[in-house]
């Protein structure tokens, strides 16, 4: 199978994360057979949601989402304007300030990579297994 990809750039808005989730679901639908099992589609969508939320919250308010399907993996890449890499934080169980997302992305992914971009900012990539019906 050849690599397929989709890209979306958006500024911060009240619907930006929802639009990123919709874009991820639409991308997965274009892959055809073998289909990714529904519960694993939700995992890809969750990783997209977390990375886009982090880009909007900590990365300058604009993001570019790129999704790519490889024979055995799904790659989620999010560009933002901040040069600072994500960092593990102690999750805030009482104050609602977060700290769960980057832990979750790392737990769900085969690998995560943060790459500085030549013009500034960074790309955060998560490589997820491509679970299929078999």
**Each residue of 76-131: pLDDT tens digit?**
999 999 999 887 677 666 766 666 788 899 999 999 999 999 989 999 999 998 87
What confidence category does residue 8 fall into, taking pLDDT thresholds of 50, 70 and 90?
low
Count of Cβ atoms closer than 10 Å to residue 61 Cβ: 16
Taking residues 11-33, what's their average pLDDT? 85
**Each residue of 25-74: pLDDT tens digit?**
989 988 876 567 777 899 999 999 999 999 988 888 888 999 998 888 89
pLDDT at 125: 97
Q: Report CA torsion sign: 89, 95, 100, 101.
A: negative
Residues facing 52 on adjacent strands: none
- Using alpha carbons only, give the angle 11, 17, 23 rounded to the nearest 5 degrees: 95
**CA 121, CA 99: separation in Å to the nearest integer?**
21
DSSP labels for 8-75? EEEE--TTHHHHHHHHHHHHHHTT-SSPBPHHHHHHHHHHHHHHHHHHHHHS-SEEEEEEEE-SSEEE
**CA 14, CA 47: separation in Å to the nearest integer?**
19
For 5-9, 10-14, 59-63, 65-69, which range has the lowest pLDDT when averaged over its residues?
Answer: 5-9
Q: Does the pLDDT of residue 132 top 80, yes or no?
A: no
pLDDT at 4: 47
pLDDT at 43: 94
């Amino acid at each position: 199978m050849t690599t397929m990809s989709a890209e979306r750039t958006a500024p911060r808005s009240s619907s930006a994360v929802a639009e990123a989730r919709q874009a991820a679901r639409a991308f997965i639908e274009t892959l055809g057979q073998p289909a990714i099992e529904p519960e694993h589609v939700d995992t890809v969508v969750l990783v997209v949601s977390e990375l886009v939320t982090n880009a909007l919250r900590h990365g300058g308010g604009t993001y570019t989402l790129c999704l790519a399907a490889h024979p055995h993996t799904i790659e989620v890449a999010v560009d933002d304007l901040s040069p600072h890499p994500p960092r593990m934080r102690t999750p805030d169980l009482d104050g609602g300030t977060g700290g769960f997302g980057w832990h979750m992305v790392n737990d769900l992914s085969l690998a995560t990579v943060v790459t500085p971009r030549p013009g500034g900012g960074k790309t955060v990539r998560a490589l997820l297994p491509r679970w299929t019906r078999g």
